[in-house]
């Protein structure tokens, strides 16, 4: 096997780089094709309350804003307190484009919570308006996160999730 060649003109011994470059380019192409850049994932903080004891559903005495999400057929129906949230006329998200079913108007929910926030009178251990998100188990998770996102956008940090009697079922 020829590993080094003698250059008569310069009098130097040179290594043949061709095969190494072949392998290196092969590796480069492999890694370029195999690489998939990962999108940075964030989180929304949903820390569980420490002071709930063993009770899953303790009645809340203070003023709250309640957003209810439920399914009717294939559509998500939302209520902001007692107000029925109109359906968005557009397929706003990739999920809605995929299912072909528009979701509730998120701007309506945001405006409603903002109105409640602005008229909220701080009381006792609730310096900001507590928001309760009450959702049926078959509502797509996306809509729960949409409501949670609105709550954080309005700088409200007291979020509660309404829990069913037996969540394990």
Partner 1 sequence: MARKKQKKMPEGVEMDMTPMIDIVFLLIVFFMVVTELTVQQAVVVLPVASESRVEEPQAGSRILFVNVSFDKNGKEMMQLLNGAPLTADRLLVELKAEAQAYGVWEDNPYNPETRLSGLEVTIRCDQGVGAGVIHKIFAVCKDAAIYKVRCAAIGERFEDPYSDQP
Where along the sequence are the contacts to partner 1 (CB under 8 A)? 9-10, 17, 21, 24-25, 27-28, 31-32, 34-53, 56, 69, 93-95, 97-99, 135-146, 148-149, 152-153, 161, 163-164, 167-168
Residue 154 CB, nearest distance to partner 1 (Å)?
10
C-alpha distance from residue 127 to each of 1, 37, 65, 123, 148 (Å): 81, 42, 14, 6, 18
Q: How far apart are CA 148 and CA 157, in angstroms?
A: 10
Q: Report the DSSP pairing between strands 75-80 and 83-84.
A: antiparallel
Of residues 32 and 121, the one with the C-beta less far from partner 1: 32
Of residues 35 and 121, the one with the C-beta less far from partner 1: 35
Residue 7 CB, nearest distance to partner 1 (Å)?
9
Of residues 121 and 169, the one with the C-beta less far from partner 1: 169
Of residues 33 and 121, the one with the C-beta less far from partner 1: 33
Strand partners, 87: 104
Residue 12 CB, nearest distance to partner 1 (Å)?
11
Residue 72 CB, nearest distance to partner 1 (Å)?
15
- All residues at 6 or more sequence positions from 106 whose CB lies less than 8 Å from its CB, including other chains: 88, 92, 146, 147, 150
Residue 121 CB, nearest distance to partner 1 (Å)?
25
Of residues 83 and 162, the one with the C-beta less far from partner 1: 162
C-alpha distance from residue 41 to each of 38, 44, 92, 126, 143 (Å): 9, 10, 21, 31, 18
């Amino acid at each position: 096997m020829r590993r080094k060649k003698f250059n008569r003109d310069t009098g130097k011994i040179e290594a043949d780089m061709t095969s190494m470059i072949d392998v290196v380019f092969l590796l480069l192409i492999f890694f370029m094709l195999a690489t998939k850049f990962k999108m940075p994932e964030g989180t929304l903080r949903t820390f569980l309350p420490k002071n709930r004891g063993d009770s899953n559903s303790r009645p809340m005495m203070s003023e709250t804003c309640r957003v209810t999400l439920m399914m009717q057929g294939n559509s998500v129906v939302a209520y902001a307190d007692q107000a029925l949230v109109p359906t968005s006329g557009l397929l706003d998200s990739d999920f809605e484009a995929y299912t072909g079913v528009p979701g509730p108007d998120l701007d309506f929910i945001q405006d409603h919570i903002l109105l409640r926030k602005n008229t909220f009178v701080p009381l006792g251990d609730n310096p900001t308006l507590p928001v309760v998100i009450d959702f049926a188990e078959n509502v797509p998770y996306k809509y729960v996160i949409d409501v949670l996102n609105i709550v954080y956008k309005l700088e409200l940090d007291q979020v509660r999730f309404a829990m069913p009697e037996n969540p394990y079922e």
